[in-house]
Amino acid sequence: MVGRMAEIGVILSGIGGVGKDLTRLLSARPGYKLAAAYTRNPELAGRDLGEHAGISSLGVEIVTDRAGALAQPADLLVVATTSFLQDVAEDVRAGIHGGLNVITTAEEAAFPWIIDAQLADELNHLAEAHRVSVIGLGLNPGFVFDALLLTASAVAWDVESIRIRRVVDVSRFSAAVLRRIGIGHTEEEFEAGVAAGSITGHIGFPQTFSLAARCLGRGLDRVEKHLEPFIAKKRIESDNLSVETGETGGFLQRVVGFVDEVSWFEAEFIAHLHLPAVEMNAQDSISIEGYNPIHLTIDPGCNPQLGTVAMLANCIPRVVEAKPGFITVADLAIPFARETLPGIRFS
């Protein structure tokens, strides 16, 4: 649908970094109504959602009662809590049962079938039965490696191979997210965490590679991942986490997707709390090799927080109008930026 539409009611599950930024953006957009917000954190119960997000009161009280929140009239639930399909499944199920379309930022949900095909199928059938759409979305996965890459491939004759590089300032993520991806650890903790799987690096490459392979007609054999730390030479202070000299201030992640045992999709992901410490700037680049190669550079690179919530907000109308079921970003019509209220300030 292009142009003005009726107000879309949105409910939030999880009001950390993504939930707060989405509150700020949606409250500046005509055509959206923040209908309810719930969290597992009892300390936030009773607070006003707008004030929690750093803007003026919205008259929406944060609750811990999921059923109460989902009873509010709305069209769509945004689940921005964790990265893992299993951990968002209960919220997604509850949203579907409430007749809501669901967007989750859980990276694993961007292509859930490779994580748990049974659970993905169950949620797909449930969504179809309730005539709603469920999707995993964000900036990455969601945009840089997926919507943007696939859109760029629209002018390719063929795709022999893909290379993507992202250099990302992650300093605004919460301490929980930063520590889980690999920042703020001694070198020994980092190695042990990577081996044990508790330090994950960026999550979502296998999902991205699988979606690209499915869309571009390739069969992905396997994905290899390698992580190495950047050790801080000086203490780094950031909003949510400070790192001491000798601890990990960032990491380099290399991920390769193989087709017919040949490297087909290569991704390099550099995340750091303070990019100048490693003499880098935020930048994203995409190379599609083939008969007529396509090379894109985004400079400065997409801001991980602001870009994520923009993608979520701009996709909301697309998800509401999408076909029912568990879908991917490749099933959506092209999203674009929507009107904001005249004279609005975002903070």
Q: Could you give the string, one character per residue 172-201, with x where binding to ligand NAP holds by CB under 6 A and - elsewhere?
A: -xx-xx------------------------
Q: Please, which of residues 35-74 interact with ligand NAP by CB under 6 A? A: 39-41
* CA 87/CA 93 separation, integer angstroms: 11
Q: Which residues pair with 103 in a beta bridge?
A: 78, 135
Which range touches ligand NAP (CB under 6 A), out of 2-10, 134-142, 184-192, 333-341? 134-142
Spell out where the chain has E strands: 8-13, 32-38, 62-63, 76-79, 101-104, 133-136, 161-169, 220-231, 236-237, 242-243, 248-259, 262-272, 283-289, 294-298, 325-327
Q: For residue 206, state whether it binds ligand NAP (rule: CB under 6 A).
A: no
Which range touches ligand NAP (CB under 6 A), out of 117-125, 139-147, 157-165, 243-251? 139-147
- Identify which of residues 19 and 206 has a Cβ nearer to ligand NAP in the complex: 19
* CA 252/CA 270 separation, integer angstroms: 5
Helix/strand/coil for 91: helix
The alpha carbons of the chain give a radius of gyration, in whole angstroms, of 20
* CA 12/CA 100 separation, integer angstroms: 12
- Identify which of residues 22 and 258 has a Cβ nearer to ligand NAP in the complex: 22
Q: For residue 97, state whether it binds ligand NAP (rule: CB under 6 A).
A: no
Q: Is the dihedral of CA 117, 123, 129, 131 positive or negative?
A: negative
Residue 92 CB, shortest distance to ligand NAP, in Å, is 12
Size of the site for ligand NAP (CB under 6 A): 26
Q: For residue 142, state whether it binds ligand NAP (rule: CB under 6 A).
A: yes
Interaction site with ligand NAP (CB under 6 A): 14-19, 39-41, 80-83, 87, 105, 107, 138-142, 173-174, 176-177, 308
